[in-house]
Structure 1
């Protein structure tokens, strides 16, 4: 993997597709007063090589940008096409207006097809004023560049759906995975920080459980690991943290992690 400069990852959201708290739920997690139990849909902001790269923009994207006072982004890269990872794309138009530039987006052929279906008004020949201005970059499993930053996709499976994780220097970011193929694990070894999804305690058809995520972390041996895409079923943040290995933490919204 090509070297990059120092990396800062800001966890914009660490929740599952319906977020936490869940509408109308009265469980202890959803009623918790701990801000770490309040989770927007999963997304991250990567600052590297003097660039701001967003991974996924779900339905909470506008709030996430305002919360972090983000004034510029250089690209959005997508892991996969589910709505909780693409639904906020329309809100990039604020950057179009303020910065007078197109926003590059990167994703697989499946992602780009889903975006064109979800947001047809962006791509019509006669577009009305004010639609997002995008520059589309369709990627495959080979390494690609955003400015000076080299990014290596990691193929994982979300049940049967192909999903991209991403290796950027010492950071590997994987969400919505239920399985990492053996032939892809070599891309992850040597990570300083591994971000991995852990939906709940019990097994799930399309996400890693906490025990499955911990077994993978033990195998892949990152120096540090952070768990994301967390549902209210996992439990209270303060209680779950007590049970984790020393080098593993639960991510939470607005957490910032730096990698030299």
Structure 2
């Protein structure tokens, strides 16, 4: 399995569009790993986790052939994770000169599916288009995609909709992709019990700052999740634990996050970071 973090920032990105805080000003000057676009991750070059509003930049930056995408799994409908209008650019009607009507399958909650269809209706006057198919994802129900098995798991994020994190499996490689979410429910650990994870990717929106909202995480919540996963028998000596979805509210550069998180055994992800398993 191969995963690539295309974007590792929260909704506002780093530097944020209109912000003049010290973290944003330093990131704009230093660039490199301190620049964070909105969160999205590519698995095996064919499964996209969330459609970031920065997808076009990601295509250019990482020389991506997005025609090879087979499916998109959307965590939730918030605009930094689901740019539904971008999907209309795949339609052969105007924007995409393709040689096949192979549709892209998009999995998400009911709001994601509705918003996606509404974008096509707004653009072309009809909800259905041969280029994209929207399918309802169900908690703990397997999605099969060639060599990958993907399982949506309930997140703790926006109570107005069913938000998901995802468990992704290929052979003996198993990754838990967990943003946007706060602390996970007991039913999640019951489901994961005994599953040996190769990678745990955690929301770390607030870094080392205390967050009281409960719908995102910082390092304190990350460590609590890691402890629960240990107790559930999910971690091995080779399990990689990463933190992603950073906000400028962390008030830290990438180097500072890397050092502090490293002390806790967690790797700070960056835009373009790639991980591979045989």
- TM-score where L is the length of structure 1: 0.86
| CA distance, structure 2, for counterparts of residue 126 and residue 35 of structure 1 | 40
- Deviation string for 1:87-117 (max 9, x for gaps)? 1433444895345332111112222123234
**1:177 pairs with 2:181:** yes
Q: 1:43 to 1:204 in 2, by over 3 A?
A: farther
1:58 and 1:89 in contact (8 A); partners too: no
Question: How much is the aligned-residue C-alpha RMSD, in angstroms?
Answer: 2.4
Q: Aligned-pair distance for 1:251? A: 0.8
1:203 pairs with 198, 211, 216, which one?
Answer: 211
Alignment of 1:20-99 (within 5 A): 20-30=14-24, 31-32=26-27, 33-47=30-44, 52-71=46-65, 72-87=68-83, 88-93=86-91, 96-98=96-98
| CA distance, structure 1, for counterparts of residue 55 and residue 124 of structure 2 | 21
1:29 and 1:37 in contact (8 A); partners too: no
Q: 1:60 to 1:120 in 2, by over 3 A?
A: same
Flag the structure with higher strand content.
1
1:28 and 1:236 in contact (8 A); partners too: no
- Deviation string for 1:136-184 (max 9, x for gaps)? 2222111121223211111111042431111112111011101311111
Farther-moved stretch of structure 1 (221-230 vs 20-29): 20-29
2:154 and 2:188 in contact (8 A); partners too: yes
| CA distance, structure 1, for counterparts of residue 90 and residue 185 of structure 2 | 33
| CA distance, structure 2, for counterparts of residue 126 and residue 249 of structure 1 | 42
Q: 1:225 matched to which residue of 2?
A: 241
| CA distance, structure 1, for counterparts of residue 18 and residue 132 of structure 2 | 37
Q: 1:4 matched to which residue of 2?
A: none
1:76 and 1:106 in contact (8 A); partners too: yes
**1:13 pairs with 2:7:** yes
Q: Aligned-pair distance for 1:226? A: 1.0
Structure 1, unaligned runs of 5 or more: 1-6
Q: Aligned-pair distance for 1:247? A: 3.2
Q: 1:3 matched to which residue of 2?
A: none
Q: Aligned-pair distance for 1:21? A: 0.4
**Which secondary structure does the structure 2 equivalent of 1:257 belong to?**
strand
1:92 and 1:132 in contact (8 A); partners too: no
- TM-score where L is the length of structure 2: 0.80
Q: 1:214 matched to which residue of 2?
A: 223
**1:190 pairs with 2:208:** no
| CA distance, structure 2, for counterparts of residue 210 and residue 115 of structure 1 | 34
Q: 2:157 matched to which residue of 1?
A: 158
